Amino acid sequence: MFPFDVILFDIGGVLLTDSWDYPERWRAADHFHLDREKLDAGHREFYVPWDTGKASLESYLDDVVFNEPRNFSREEIIAFMMNESQLLPDGAMGILKEIVASDKCMVGSLNNEPRETNEYRFKTFGLRDYFKVALSSCYLGVRKPEPAIFRMALDVLGRPAERILFIDDREPNIVAAEAMGIKSIHFAGEAGLRQELERLGVL
């Protein structure tokens, strides 16, 4: 018997680079000559509504970037933001494809991501070809590591927690998932993940 009914992947830091974390924001600050501290302060204040689908990218940019005159356009910074998404070096994309090709369980995502960057990443990297379910914070209205997002995942999937495997690169998310009884792997590179999945009988 295959050990899990569902395997859930985080995306940023597991399959792809992060889309708008500190390194990406700082590169944007340098490129567009923005003050890093002001950009980060604005981000910390306004990213949760954006991340949980309660605010749009346009409103986020109004509050965080275009709260004063700029010498660049919205289109320019949005293009920069989207282009920050790349395949993660030493990431798990190859493993994801192997698991999907085996057709032994449902595969999905459980990730924190605003709607606009989430949909760009899903389309650009063909993730909907692999995922049967997308449990993204922008769709569920709540973020990891809040317990509510894991309860929602269990409700949507309709599977016992012990039959679900979750892969994420951030320790607080792992701790929160395991508190709900979900088996979790802390991702730190392709080789380590492969070894753990072989031990569990997934690969």
Yes or no: say if 179 and 158 are a contact pair by the CB < 8 Å rule.
Answer: no
Domains and CATH numbers, the chain: 6-17+86-200 (3.40.50.1000), 22-83 (1.10.150.240)
Is 135 strand, coil or helix? strand
Bond prior to 145 in cis (omega within 30° of 0): yes
Yes or no: say if 123 and 155 are a contact pair by the CB < 8 Å rule.
Answer: no
State the pLDDT at residue 157: 98
State the pLDDT at residue 151: 98
State the pLDDT at residue 88: 98
Each residue's pLDDT tens digit, 142-193: 999 999 999 999 999 999 999 999 999 999 999 999 999 999 999 999 999 9
State the pLDDT at residue 77: 98
Yes or no: say if 19 and 51 are a contact pair by the CB < 8 Å rule.
Answer: no
CA distance 43 to 10: 21
Q: Which pTM does this prediction carry?
A: 0.96
Each residue's pLDDT tens digit, 88-109: 999 999 999 999 999 999 999 9
Each residue's pLDDT tens digit, 21-52: 999 999 999 999 999 999 999 999 999 999 99
CA distance 183 to 169: 14
Yes or no: say if 143 and 51 are a contact pair by the CB < 8 Å rule.
Answer: yes
